Structure 1
Amino acid sequence: MVVSKEKFFELLEQGREDNSWDYKRDLKIKPNESFYQLLKDILAFSNTEGGHLVLGVEDKEHKLIGVTNQIDEAELGSKIQTTLGYSINIKLLYFKHECDGETKTLGLLYIPKSNQLNLSPKDLTGQKGAIIQANIPYVRRNTQSVLADKDDYEKLLNRIQKQNNYEFKERDLEILIRNRDRLSIETRIYNYLTGDFKFTTNEFSHKLNWLYYSQHHYNKLEFGRLIGFEDHKIDDYFEGKASPTLEQILRISLICRVPADYFFRPTINDMYPIWQYPIISYSIIDKITNRDSFMFIEHEGKFFRDVLWELSKGIRLFINWVLSETPKDISSNPSDGHFFSPMSLYAHFYEWPVEKIDEFKEHLCFQHYKILELFDTSENVDEILSSLIFLPEDLTCRVIIESIKEINIKNGKPQVKLHFLEEIKNKQYNRREYRNLKLEISE
């Protein structure tokens, strides 16, 4: 019963004005001075607890005199929108009523409590000066629409903060933590190399935290205010609980000097997928034996990801083998079938004595010293892949060129042969050197 004939008479029976309603004869949108007086009441009601304007009632004696001019609800709403630059929700009702032997038109205007602070962006003036002052809230106090004082500001602030702070329930937090856990470094590297990306608050918070910790000029409060975050929600943005506006994203991009699309593409720290750098993609493509097949690759991100993944797996196996202790009797230590087990490679050396195997290992360690130097402390394939990604571009290219012998594309997937694994399988002594920046391998 927001606006109805019954609500009208319920308020009329009160016999007095209140912070929640006021009596008026008419609503006027012309001239502007009359409209501004009405708009001040609408702003005040919306900023307080909402309320009604009871129309067709004499202000002092509260007698029914009827309205002399009806206005359309849509017309009033349009006038508010044009004046303020935003809309305020209103409900307007007119109805006929028999009183003292004549039919009178009465009305009721309802202004609901707003979820935001409604202000005028400019001074709205009449002949005697400003009727509504710019950027200052009006509230209802003592049955009048007046400028907010200190106590009003505190009430308004508490109300807006409470409305803007979504209270995360236990289930919400479980989902938030689960999604954050799924974005572990391993998963992030996998998605990053594939080139897959979905904009989520968790993804945004990862990028935001990286940019914040990479700069040294601002504390978190200053950083958040520069971006335009609300003070009471700054931590929510950093924790993946709040979604930014496009304006805030553009501000961060300018402040941190990252490309405008930084928040809409896969990155690790501030790096795009490494295969998108021409020198690295060329180093990989140059190893493909059937390059015509590369033209029919459906998802190039998956192709480059798989190549780098196979390279990292091979490096892990190679390091495990050359640093393992050679078994005294290889025949009594069969392979357990695990790819990373050194025994999977010892199977090629049944006829070799332990001393010769150790000598061969030393040769491989010398020829592939860079692999050991860069990755021997990495405990698993994910760590090797992560280290490979964060190397300088020229060093990444060197690892690719020295390690990959060839790539054959079969059914759209790369089959990667690595120099050090092929040398082990073939018990092959190769010499490696660079001439004019070109790797040359000789037996």
Structure 2
Amino acid sequence: MSIAGKKALWPALCLCLALTACGGQEVATPVSADVTVAELARAVVESQDDLVGLPVLEGEDLTDHLSAFCGLETWKEGAVYAAGGMDAREVTVVRLADEASAETAADTLENYRLERQGDFFGYAPEEADRLERAVVLQRGSYAALLVCDDPEAAKESFDACLAGEFPLPVEEETALPVSSEEPEATAVMAPETEKLAEPTPTPEPDPTPAPPETPAETGRPILNPDLDTSGFVPFMEPNDTNMEIYDTSAIKAAWEIGDADGLSDKDAVILEKCREVLGELITEGMTDFEKELAVHDWIVEQGSYDQTVHNNPVHSGRTGYRDPYGILVGGYGNCLGYSTTFQLLMDLCDVECITVVGAAFDSLESHAWNMVKLDGEWYCVDVTWDDPTVGNGNINSVGHHRYFNVTSEHMRETDHQWDYLYVPEATATHYRWDGAGPLPQ
């Protein structure tokens, strides 16, 4: 994910910095400057209109962010300004024991940048783009991540402050604490109870691992034995979040017999909401396509992506965010929440439908969507990405039907990955509708 068009550093630094680029990351030879990470972070914030007023993290929030979110293990000083939630804006600066440790920290921050970009990819296009343009810096014993509207200007302000050109006084109430009472003695390890699994190595740019010649045994039948997958982005399960599909069999059985006795409290609420929603949407004589479109559009209008999944490193959201409860009752969910809600409502409408658990962002992020069978042919539907989070909140009908009844080829071209041989291949186009023009008949 390289950042194009990198500018030269300020003239004052040209003689002492030797830059190389790797992805969004820049490294440099050691720089001698008597500045704190708090001054560096504040210099960046003050240089960017979009960063003014960004919350500063302190105490446990600071430690949690650097260790649990960023994946850093050791640091002498840390300073973080971060918006949180579905807002990617962030300035993170750390000082390490030496240059080698700073290089490792920069690698970790670059990996964190990619993971964050994957988190927002498809869900919040504006934030994903901001992370695409973000820069990771390494300057001597300092490492930094700058996520803002103008990362080049932010980088120049960082370097100028580091060179002592305009070190900013940091007021006591906004000074960011170091991670130890004796920062000069030893680096501080994040508490074991707060650490996640070891951070994964920084992905190589444009990974192209070859798919196995013979698919691994899965217990499922191969549906597309003649499908040539050699040119596809290989699917590798990211395993970055829980993608187990919620069991709705009891709800469907209760729907069939018209009796909710024996259901759990949660399933009883889901069933009642299904009756209410379908009672409003579905009328006698509707075709399967008309039912599908009505359910799709209701979910897009009713639901919103659960932004709280980005408030912690394990992506856990509100009650039922991964199943139909979240969308039906609270109006929130992640991709599993959207897709399992669509699946359940299609099942209750007797429209053949499956849920595909796959990935996105070159198999770095888990993702789920649906397929429906209309007139004997399969179509792909990604309700989650048809309901993107955008800054102005203004998405027209075309924007809400970008992934409505599209082909498998279209899904591959828009960065979806899955077990290609074991999932029906959607090739039909008759019921494709992009939100403009007359509906298919």
**Higher-Rg member (1/2):** 1
TM score, norm. by length of structure 2: 0.24
* Structure having the larger proportion of residues in helix: 1
Structure with larger RCO (C-alpha < 8 A, sep 6+) = 2
